[in-house]
Amino acid sequence: MADSEKANLLEFGRHVLRDEARALDALAEGLGEAFEHAVDLIVGCRGKLIVAGLGKSGHIGRKISATFASTGTTSVFLHLAEAIHGDLGMADSGDVAILISLSGETAELEPVIDHFSAVSIPVIGITGNSHSLLARAASAPLLLPQWREVGPESVAPTTSTTMSLALGDALAMTVMHLKGFDRSDFGRLHPGGALGARLKPISRVMHSGNEVPLTRADSAMRDVIVEMTAKRLGVVGVIDGEGYLVGVITDGDLRRHMEEGSIIRRASS
């Protein structure tokens, strides 16, 4: 590929990102009372948060629901096509719903909205059509700015799905902030993987009781080596007559100072 072609490709990619970034700026500037009302509905929800969508909006809805669930708000995803074939049974009074549809006129929306109305479930609508069925039915209509989809022919859902996802993040993070959901709460819901390892409390990984290798300050070096070998932690705590820690001996100390007289590093008082 020629250098000029590479430069054109890079510039096109940058155009995509910059155009979507401008759309997000416009979305942020347009937030108002409907956003505040949506947050109030979610914070006050006595049941679960239902997030529903179809197609690309469905994929975005799954991620938004997962973000809420991982940050302290009980949430489930409802596929609109499955909803009208029995899955509406998961919705009940006390729930709150977020419905996502750029057109706001998706055929599956009407029976879902009717059911939510019948069981008194308030609807938060994410749509780009202020005159749509969804916008009219929503207690909190969150309108996306009128912005062309980025990319060739502007046909693939790109900018609209980016804005919908970002709006879901804004809702979830605002609710998380208001609920006082902190690192310890987050750690409880993320016990696995690298993230869970970083957030795991010290009490879950520390050694205590008989697991801790200890020796008295007047012990023989042979006893220190036996204790360190038995407990396999690479360190031995040195305690005084009252059981207080006065120093430590590491395996490195043993290697470096085996033939020297003093190998205990005194603990700070």
Pairing of strands 235-239, 245-250: antiparallel
pLDDT (0 to 100) of residue 8: 87
pLDDT (0 to 100) of residue 54: 95
Homologous superfamily of the 209-266 domain (CATH): CBS-domain (3.10.580.10)
The owner of tokens 């679960």 is 48
Residues 117 and 123: their CA atoms lie apart, in Å, by 9
The overall average pLDDT reported for the chain is: 86
Contact 88, 112 (CB under 8 A): yes
Helix 3-30 / helix 159-179 crossing angle, nearest 10 deg? 50
pLDDT (0 to 100) of residue 215: 81
Neighbours of 174 (CB within 10 A): 16
Residues 83 and 110: their CA atoms lie apart, in Å, by 11
| Amino acid making up residue 89 | G
pLDDT (0 to 100) of residue 189: 65
Cβ neighbours of residue 153 under 8 Å, at least 6 residues apart? Answer: none
Residues 128 and 100: their CA atoms lie apart, in Å, by 10
pLDDT (0 to 100) of residue 208: 67
Extents of the domains making up the chain: 3-197, 209-266
Contact 160, 128 (CB under 8 A): yes
pTM as predicted: 0.73
pLDDT (0 to 100) of residue 26: 97
Tell me 202's DSSP state: G
Pairing of strands 49-53, 96-100: parallel
The strand pairing partners of 99, in sequence order, are: 52, 125
- Taking only the tens of pLDDT, the chain with its 269 residues reads 666 676 788 999 999 999 999 999 999 999 999 999 999 999 999 999 999 999 999 999 999 999 999 999 999 999 999 999 999 999 999 999 999 999 999 999 999 999 999 999 999 999 999 999 999 999 999 999 999 999 888 888 999 999 999 999 999 999 999 998 877 766 666 666 555 556 566 666 667 667 778 888 777 777 777 777 777 777 887 888 777 787 877 777 766 766 555 545 555 54
| Region 3-197: CATH code | 3.40.50.10490
The owner of tokens 């929503």 is 138
pLDDT (0 to 100) of residue 147: 93
